[in-house]
DNA sequence: CACGATACCTGTAAGC
DNA sequence: TGCTTACAGGTATCGT
């Protein structure tokens, strides 16, 4: 489910239930996801008050009054379920607040993760220290991309998926942004012109912002046990549109494997 | 070091 | 109706 916009939507949804709440029960239902859960997860979080919710790249942050922040990643298939009617085999971690609200972290493929990090040290946490700038912040500029991609021979598509270049872009929005900017995903990153990078940056920001708005517009559905987030309500120009007509020129959208994953693009509009 | 390939896991849909 | 295969929104790690 999750790229940056959905993590942002998830965090905003969680805030409505968790902000200021005290946790009275923290129950792992298996050893962990991609990695084991922290050994002190239950001890640290039980009785803790949630003092803030946040996001960095595709990680969600649940800050507590214990000086520790729970950092979660939804991997490929993770989501939080609010007040599940009944628990399924993929509900791997439960949180219950003092008011009796139950949240379940559900992740069938278990590519996600949960960590505890000292709040004051978050920026120095290894996974965060290596991240590039947030796409919606001032740090993502044509100048930053120019410098970060200089001399790189890997395809621009793969470089944009590298979280050290830009933090939070995933397969969908890289495909969409490259289409909007008219850039061939196969092009060596270091050979993309300054003019093309100047087109690309605002398109990245726009497509991410639009997706967050689309998620935000259906936030009320977040409370439903099997609620959709409105993520798919957004129409894509190229993603998952193999052989369908380009929205701009009508040529069939192509799919090609890059780095073991699919890229969709228009061979006529993207040079 | 940069880069490509592979591994991690389960569910779903398509093909035979 | 089965069985097999390909692929899915991500990241870490291992060769070359």
- Residue A250: CATH number of its domain: 1.10.8.50
| Phi, psi angles (nearest 5°) of residue A186 | -85, -10
Cβ-based contacts (< 7 Å) between A 247-266 and strand C: 260-262
A27 part of a folded domain:
yes
| pTM strictly above 0.85 | yes
Angle, CA A49 vertex, CA A48 and CA A54 arms, to 5°: 115
pLDDT of res. A215? 77
- CATH number of residue A30's parent domain: 3.20.190.10
Residues A254 and A180 in one domain: yes
Find residue A94's DSSP bridge partners: A27, A104
pLDDT of res. A233? 56
- Boundaries of domain holding A100: 4-129
Residues A235 and A214 in one domain: yes
| Phi, psi angles (nearest 5°) of residue A44 | -70, -40
A136 part of a folded domain:
no
pLDDT of res. A103? 96
DSSP-based three-state secondary structure for A115: strand
Q: How far apart are CA A236 and CA A150, in angstroms?
A: 30
Residues A175 and A120 in one domain: no
pLDDT of res. A72? 97
d(CA A18, C1' B14) / Å: 42
Residues A90 and A201 in one domain: no
pLDDT of res. A217? 57
pLDDT of res. A2? 86
Residues A19 and A114 in one domain: yes
Nucleotides of C under 7 A from a protein CB: 7-12
User: For B10, which residue's CA is nearest its C1'?
Assistant: A109
pLDDT of res. A51? 98
DSSP A210-221: HHHHHHHTTGGG
Residues A103 and A151 in one domain: no
Residues A61 and A21 in one domain: yes
Catalytic residues of A: 2-3, 58, 261
Q: Provide the phi-psi class of A190: left if phi over 0, else alpha when psi is between -120 and 50, else beta.
A: alpha
Chain position carrying tokens 């991240």: A131
Q: Give Dmax (Cα) for chain A.
A: 58
The two three-digit tokens of residue A60, written as one number: 């969600």
Domain termination residue (choose one: A129, A155, A184) = A129
Nucleotide nearest to A90 (CA to C1'): B10
DSSP-based three-state secondary structure for A129: helix
A134 part of a folded domain:
no
A137 part of a folded domain:
no
CB–CB of A5/A208 below 8 Å? yes
d(CA A250, C1' C3) / Å: 38
Number of Cβ atoms within 10 Å of the Cβ of A78: 27
d(CA A95, C1' C5) / Å: 38
Nucleotide nearest to A6 (CA to C1'): C9
pLDDT of res. A176? 95
Residues A89 and A194 in one domain: no
Q: Structurally, how many domains does chain A consist of?
A: 2
A85-95: pLDDT as tens digits: 999 999 999 99
A258 part of a folded domain:
yes
Q: Answer for A76: CB within 7 Å of strand C.
A: yes
β-pairing, A68-73 with A113-118?
A: antiparallel
| Phi, psi angles (nearest 5°) of residue A119 | -55, -40
Residues A160 and A218 in one domain: yes
Find residue A91's DSSP bridge partners: A106
Chain position carrying tokens 């239902």: A29
- Residue A187 is classified by DSSP as S
Positions of chain A with pLDDT under 50: 218-229
Number of residues written out for chain A = 271
d(CA A1, C1' B10) / Å: 14
CB–CB of A160/A133 below 8 Å? no
The two three-digit tokens of residue A144, written as one number: 């930053």
User: For B6, which residue's CA is nearest its C1'?
Assistant: A260
Nucleotide nearest to A155 (CA to C1'): B3
pLDDT of res. A219? 41
User: For C9, which residue's CA is nearest its C1'?
Assistant: A1
């Amino acid at each position: 489910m999750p790229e940056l916009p959905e993590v942002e939507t998830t965090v905003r949804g969680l805030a409505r239930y968790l902000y200021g709440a005290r946790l009275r029960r923290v129950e792992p239902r298996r050893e962990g996801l991609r990695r084991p859960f922290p050994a002190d997860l239950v001890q640290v979080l039980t009785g803790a008050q949630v003092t803030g919710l946040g996001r960095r790249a595709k990680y969600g942050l649940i800050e507590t009054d214990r000086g520790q922040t729970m950092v979660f990643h939804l991997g490929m298939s993770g989501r939080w379920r609010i007040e599940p009617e009944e628990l399924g085999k993929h509900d791997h971690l439960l949180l219950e607040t003092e008011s009796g609200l139950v949240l379940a972290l559900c992740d069938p493929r278990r590519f996600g993760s949960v960590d505890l990090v000292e709040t004051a040290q978050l920026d120095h946490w290894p996974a965060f220290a290596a991240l590039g700038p947030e796409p919606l912040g001032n740090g993502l500029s044509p100048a930053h991309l120019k410098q970060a991609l200089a001399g790189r021979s890997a395809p621009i598509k793969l470089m944009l998926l590298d979280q050290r270049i830009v933090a939070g872009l995933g397969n969908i929005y890289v495909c969409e942004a490259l289409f909007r900017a008219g850039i061939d995903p196969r092009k060596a990153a270091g050979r993309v012109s300054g003019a093309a990078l100047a087109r690309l940056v605002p398109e990245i920001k726009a497509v991410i912002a639009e997706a967050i708005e689309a998620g935000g517009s259906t936030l009320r559905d977040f409370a439903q046990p099997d609620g959709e987030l409105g993520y798919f309500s957004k129409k894509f120009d190229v993603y998952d549109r193999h052989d369908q007509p380009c929205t701009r020129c009508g040529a069939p959208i192509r799919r090609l494997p890059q780095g073991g994953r699919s890229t969709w693009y228009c061979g006529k509009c993207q040079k």
